[in-house]
Amino acid sequence: MNALKNGLSRRSFLTLGGVAALGGAAALAGCAPKASAPDAKAEAADDATTMQTADQTKECDIAIVGAGGAGLWAAVEAVRAGKSVVVIEKGGNVGVANGSLAGGPFMVGSKLQEEAGIDFTVEEAFNHIMEYAHWSTNAAAVKAAVAISGETVDQFTDDFGVPTGMRPDNYGAGHASVRANFQSDPSDSKTQTKGEDRMKPLQEFVESKGGTFLFNTAGKRLIMEDGVCTGVQCEGDGVIDVKAKAVIVATGGFMGNVDMMREKFGTFVNPLGNILSVGEGIDMVQAAGGQVSTQWGIAGNEFTGSNQKADGLYDRKSAAFTIGIYGTLLVNNQGRRFSNEGKFANLPLALGGAISLVGGKYYAVVDQAYVDGLNSGMDAWTLCGSDEEHWHTGMMTLKGKALENVQGSIDDAVSAGWAFKADSIEALAEAIDAPELVNTLDEYNGYCADGKDEQFYKPACFLQPVTTGPFYAFQYEPSAWVTIGGIRTNDRLQAIDGDGLPIAGLYVAGADNGTLMSAPYCDYEGYSLMCAYCGGRLAGQYAAETLDA
């Protein structure tokens, strides 16, 4: 699901130019998250409400802010319904957002699944999703999105010629496949269709129906008249007022806004997804009277840990990055355990993201015996007991995939200052300034000897003792592909005010929408991308239907 290349230095990433530097793939590589400032929140609010004098005006039926997965599919449905659209996109093309780069969406009832004989129903999927979220999301909106998820995947191939295939059930959903991919060569899973190759056919369809795209242009403020949304003011090549009968906001959440992530999550989060998304969509809808959701979280990095001091965003082949999601001992900055590490290992995308936010800045602690085990050529799943029941994800994603240069990658992390090595536990505790680590390890090693974790009850396969020096601690920070949380909407994806009433003419889709995704992230792989594609389709349909009413 990565929207940035592994080779980009994390330190460079956090110190590159401001978000104003727009333009295609270069925007992703050259735009840092919004810089911290004492009055950043107030400035954002002012920016979302202070109207500017427009240099030009455009008119359409439906204005769509954002050309990611949600925005593009909204545009497709709007022009199918015969509506004129203007799509406003901050990047330089339709290939920069997560919707064009992520692995693939969750699906139910697709032709792929039917042809494979997979018995998976909308009823089963809907009930699981809602129970997982404790019914805290909008049931009708979720049901509508799930119901068209298979059809949406079918349309990628049937209507737009984008190849689709099935991904295996890596996270134990219980079916052969619950997720599509965009595999252009059926014999090579690495041939994923991404970027413009995936989404340009949708753009071309919209343009063939008269739709207009404004690239390198950011939506800034909603135009409101007597409580009705009548357009959006944009900034790009000057100030542009796009007057419309309805507006769909789909700007992708706030992965590029360090301040907003700290506010919502209480800790720094390493952004792995589209950093052009800085929360402007959420700000502008709030400025128009829209209310925010109760669900705030992240879709975590299922592949590795992350640290802003590291050279690279993450590296699935590096022991220094990956040890943190192998079920090893995790401690907080006081040296105390804070979770069942086996849950992190088995559901790294869903529960891992939530657990990492609990930890904040946290450490994985192992000994030389564990490192030597990985260094011997044994994969992590085998090293941890080959437990198919308690580490299904490990079996599916790690079995037979031994790491290379294990000791070398760890030594490099130590040199870079985000991993620590010491000859004694006491010295390691001092190195990471976590005074309680000594007592934690004494207790934890007792659990390992007994074969039962009496604190958090993690499976015995993950109880690897930390007794053979030297000892290592790897410092990680939460990292995420996309943010969860945004504007509260009704079941028609209309933004609602403080009384729960819809704001006329205003719809919200994708990661800006706080209605479809729950926190923790749903344990169906590809769920966020399904919400983007299908939520966008629904928003486009609903907006068009309202105009026809």
Question: What pLDDT does 41 receive?
Answer: 54
Domain boundary, last residue among 421, 453, 477:
477
Q: Do residue 395 and residue 268 come from a single domain?
A: no
Question: What pLDDT does 3 receive?
Answer: 36
Question: What pLDDT does 20 receive?
Answer: 31
Q: Do residue 330 and residue 415 come from a single domain?
A: yes
Total length of the chain: 549
Write the pLDDT tens digit of every residue in 450-498: 999 999 999 999 999 999 999 999 999 999 999 999 999 999 999 999 9
* Mean pLDDT, the chain, whole residue set: 91
Q: Do residue 279 and residue 328 come from a single domain?
A: no
| Stretch among 30-39, 170-179, 321-330, 510-519 having the lowest mean pLDDT | 30-39
The CA distance from 134 to 519, in Å, is 10
Angstrom CA distances, 24 to 30, 215, 274, 535, stand at 10, 9, 11, 24
Write the pLDDT tens digit of every residue in 400-449: 999 999 999 999 999 999 999 999 999 999 999 999 999 999 999 999 99
Residue 15 pLDDT exceeds 60: no
Take residue 395 and report the two structure tokens written for it.
């079996």
pTM of the full structure? 0.92
94 within 8 A of 200, measured Cβ to Cβ: yes
Other CB atoms within 10 A of residue 425 CB: 22
Angstrom CA distances, 382 to 282, 354, 373, 444, stand at 45, 26, 10, 21
Question: What pLDDT does 44 receive?
Answer: 60
Question: What pLDDT does 45 receive?
Answer: 59
Q: Do residue 328 and residue 454 come from a single domain?
A: yes
Q: Do residue 452 and residue 339 come from a single domain?
A: yes
| 190 confidence band (pLDDT: 50, 70, 90) | confident
Give, in degrees to the nearest 5, the angle at Cα 58 between 72 and 53.
Answer: 115
| 43 confidence band (pLDDT: 50, 70, 90) | low
- Find, among 450, 546, 491, 103, the residue nearest to 302 by Cα: 103
Domain count, the chain: 2
Q: Do residue 241 and residue 332 come from a single domain?
A: no
Domain boundary, last residue among 445, 477, 509:
477
Question: What pLDDT does 46 receive?
Answer: 66
Helix/strand/coil (H, E, C) string of 490-547? CCCCEEECCCCCEEEEEEECHHHECCCCCCCCCCCCCHHHHHHHHHHHHHHHHHHHHH
Q: Do residue 246 and residue 374 come from a single domain?
A: no
| 110 confidence band (pLDDT: 50, 70, 90) | very high
Q: Do residue 456 and residue 351 come from a single domain?
A: yes
Q: For residue 188, what are the contacts with CB-CB under 8 A and spacing of at least 6?
A: none
Pairing of strands 238-249, 270-271: unpaired
Q: Do residue 229 and residue 342 come from a single domain?
A: no
| 307 confidence band (pLDDT: 50, 70, 90) | very high
> Which own/partner pairs from 190-196 qualify as long-range (CB within 8 Å, at least 24 positions apart)?
192/103, 193/162, 193/163, 194/95, 194/100, 194/101, 195/25, 195/95, 195/96, 195/100, 195/101, 196/93, 196/94, 196/95, 196/100
- Find, among 1, 231, 212, 3, the residue nearest to 89 by Cα: 212
Domain boundary, last residue among 449, 477, 505:
477
DSSP assignment string, 302-335:
SS----TTSSSS--TT-HHHHGGGTT-EEE-TTS
Give, in degrees to the nearest 5, the angle at Cα 265 between 260 and 271.
Answer: 65
Write the pLDDT tens digit of every residue in 215-267: 999 999 999 999 999 999 999 999 999 999 999 999 999 999 999 999 999 99
Residue 37 in any domain: the answer is no
| 31 confidence band (pLDDT: 50, 70, 90) | very low
**Residue numbers of the domain that contains 142:** 56-298+484-548
435 within 8 A of 335, measured Cβ to Cβ: yes
Question: What pLDDT does 2 receive?
Answer: 35
Take residue 204 and report the two structure tokens written for it.
């071309």
Q: Do residue 341 and residue 467 come from a single domain?
A: yes
CATH code at position 369: 3.90.700.10
Residue 28 in any domain: the answer is no
| Stretch among 37-41, 271-275, 423-427 having the lowest mean pLDDT | 37-41
Residue 299 pLDDT exceeds 60: yes
